[in-house]
Chains A and B, each alone.
Chain A
Amino acid sequence: MGSLIKFEFRKIYKKRMNIVVCCITIFLIMAFGIANVTQTYIYNEKGDKISGRAYVKYKKQIAKKLEGQLTNEKAKDVIAEYQNMVATPGYYEGEGEDGHFTDEIYCSYFLPHRQILLDIAHVYDDPGMQTWGSNLNKLSLNDIKPLYEAKKNRFQMILEAGSGDWNYTAEEKQYWTKQYDKIAEPVTYGYAEGWSTWFAMAGFFFYVLVGIFIIMSTVYAGEYEQKADHIILTTKYGKSKVIAAKNVAAFLYGFLLSTACILIMALICFGWYGVEGASLPVQSIYFQSAYPLTNVQAVLLYVVMYYVISFMMIAMTLWLSARMKNGLSVLAVMLLLVFVPIFMNESETNGLYNHILALLPYNAIQDGGYNTILSYPFGSCVLNYMNMRIVVYLILTVVVIPFAGRAFRRHEVQ
């Protein structure tokens, strides 16, 4: 069996087309990753546009000033400072929604405080609304609830009101409330640029999935196209062990390519920005998140989910490859399956549709989904969005893969 796996693996990696696709996939991940981190820019306190290593240095400076726990008191101070800035003559232009800081104040005050200001502001937004900080000036410091009380209230209101056309079941409400209660408050802030960048770039893994299914499309169909099936199927293990060997080799190749891309991405994110912030809560990036995880846990969980999604894509491709007679047909079907959902918009009235849409590969791979309160109730069992993706794709992998073997075993030469 070991030697069969070795040969099947060799067949995959030696194929010229696969070498090209593999190189392109790795190149795209590197190119997108490097371009992203090197070209990200910010305006410093003087209003100069900075990027590259200067950007990293500046972000660390900003984070240093704001690091530590965001307590209720600190939140009030932040709001008070914001309101003072708005009230200071010459700092703010215009009124209300149309008002904005002058360029100088925007760069010297607002941008460095942007994340904490928007996080606090969003807590006082009505459920389902996002005012992007324009509500901060309207808040009465004497009347507003403390930050974390307001945050929990808002969270409960969202659970009661539902999202779109989705009404949370009692079990979901209970589940999310329990999850929420596990979050350490006050939330600790700090420099975590590497981790937030990881989530921002996670969508690039979609290209890895595409690369993987292009490579896998010929695992079985290639045998039919080359007419090697004539010989394989007449050998002792041609309808038994070779199927397991092909599947293992395909999963191994997919795993290794994925791992290479994950390592490249990790190297780019953490090599460029550093690994600081690993133990900070994921709320330091997604303040409203109800996932009681640290940044490193959140990223690792995403990686696990990515692997499971990639395994399902491999299983699906292998099945189609065994059923269809050529790799191009497999590619056509897989491209449809993967790319069509990109053009499907969320519904404003159909929550079930949105729940399904969120599970499709393109959407599922985009990020951790840690900033959403998306869950899937099955009676008394509730799965959050992350767990649901892992469970669904794992089940589909296990269910689909035997069909690949069955299709190859039953294949009749033409």
Chain B
Amino acid sequence: MKLTLRQTTKCYGDKIAVDHLDATFENGVYGLLGANGAGKTTLMRMICGILSPTSGEIQYDEQDITGMGEEYRELLGYLPQDFGYYPEFEAKEFMLYIAALKGIPPMMARRKTKELLELVGLSQVARKKIKTFSGGMKQRLGIAQAMLNDPKILVLDEPTAGLDPKERVRFRNLISDVASERIVILSTHIVSDVEYIADQIMLMRGGCMIAGGTVEELVETIAGKVWEVITDRRNADVLCGKYDIINLRHEQDMVELRIACDGKPDEDAQLVTPTLEDLYLYEFRETTEVK
């Protein structure tokens, strides 16, 4: 089972959303990290066949996905970023509708609906209209519908948006449980969402894949470049002007800075073990607001 993207490009007029992207996905969890406008959603939509590439191709087991039609869509589970729902539908009714769209026989649809609603913690509100749901509940319903057909390719666009910390942990565990026999591609801004569950991380910027690999491999690329220093405000201002600040925290009169640079930025600076978040903030420092 292999999903291959070859020179996949999507242009909107002069704007290139995805730029000659090559990638191969096999069983496992792939985390797409990137700032807004990096091309993550466009890429996912192309993988799901709801957006055609301007050039290049997407193949599943060496077959072009466009030509596969129902055969390919049968393998898909998709949670879009903006998940459209029918306000007048009940959660259960909505699940059964999606099950019908996915060609799941009615008996199995009812069983899977029950199971999944329980799994995402919505079994108590299965008979409630979706319009009464909170953002997090809608998101959980979206996750449940994506998994109805036990998809071989599960595409989740910002799946943790709107979830509280407890729900995010539950979601991460859920994905880890189901990831062994399928391709899971998920996009997020939240590094911790993918740090623990993704087998492969893909960093996207300007429609291009700028880095990819396991968390360890990626973190290794900035090993020896991440420093921490606690200094006074005046010196902190100087350091902020000279270096890329990954993180900044005020502690009474002092400021704790986390800095990414090749050499030691300050006499008191200590070399620290980098994290994926450091890499993310380092890579997207031009577009990331330092707090």
Contacts and interface: CB of A to CB of B under 8 A. Distances in A.
A142 interface: no
Contact of B102 (A7, A14, A235): A235
Among B48, B50, B82, B89, chain A packs the most CB atoms within 10 A around the CB of B50
A234 B84 contact: no
A333 interface: no
A4 B88 CA distance: 17
A239 B89 CA distance: 22
A228 B45 CA distance: 14
Nearest to A5: B100
Given A228-B86, A239-B73, A233 B49 contact: yes
Contact of A231 (B84, B93, B103): B84
Contact of A228 (B49, B76, B84, B100): B84
Nearest to B155: A234
Contacts of B145: 231
A230 B82 contact: yes
Contact of A236 (B74, B84, B106): B74
Given A240-B70, A412-B52, A413-B45, A3 B86 contact: no
Contact of A230 (B69, B74, B78, B96): B78
Contact of A14 (B89, B98, B100): B89
Interface residues of A, number: 27
B80 interface: yes
B102 A237 contact: yes
B196 interface: no
A228 B52 contact: no
A22 to B, nearest CB: 14
A403 to B, nearest CB: 19
A412 B53 CA distance: 11
The DSSP consensus for interface residues of chain B is: loop
A7 B48 contact: no
A15 interface: yes
A238 B85 contact: no
Contact of B84 (A3, A15, A229, A235): A229
Interface string A1-35: 00110010011001110000000000000000000
B98 A4 contact: no
B101 interface: yes
A182 interface: no
A256 interface: no
A252 interface: no
B290 interface: no
A15 B51 CA distance: 28
B97 A7 contact: yes
Given A7-B97, A236-B149, A413-B51, A230 B102 contact: no
Contact residue range for chain B? 20 to 34
Nearest to A7: B97
A230 B83 CA distance: 8
Given A3-B100, A226-B84, A227-B82, A234 B70 contact: no
Contacts of A227: 80, 82-84
B52 to A, nearest CB: 6
Interface in A222-263: 223, 226-240, 242
A14 B70 CA distance: 29
A238 B83 contact: no
Given A3-B106, A227-B80, A412-B51, A235 B101 contact: yes
Contacts of B85: 226, 228
Contacts of A7: 93, 96-97, 100
A226 B149 CA distance: 23
Contact of B50 (A14, A15, A234): A234
B69 A239 contact: yes
A233 B155 CA distance: 14
Contact of A233 (B50, B100, B149): B50
A219 B17 CA distance: 30
A16 B88 contact: yes
A10 B94 CA distance: 11
Interface string B47-61: 011111000000000
Nearest to B104: A236
Interface in B217-232: none
Contacts of B98: 231, 235
Contact of B101 (A15, A230, A236, A412): A236
A412 B50 contact: yes
Interface in A73-121: none
Interface of B: 45, 48-52, 69-70, 73-74, 76, 78, 80, 82-86, 88-89, 93, 96-98, 100-103, 106, 145, 149
11 contacts: A11-B89, A14-B88, A227-B84, A228-B85, A230-B82, A231-B98, A231-B101, A234-B49, A236-B102, A239-B69, A413-B51
Interface of A: 3-4, 7, 10-11, 14-16, 223, 226-240, 242, 412-413
Given A242-B101, A413-B80, 20 more contacts: A4-B100, A15-B88, A226-B86, A227-B83, A227-B84, A230-B78, A231-B83, A231-B101, A233-B48, A234-B48, A235-B149, A236-B70, A236-B74, A236-B149, A237-B70, A237-B101, A238-B73, A239-B73, A412-B50, A413-B51
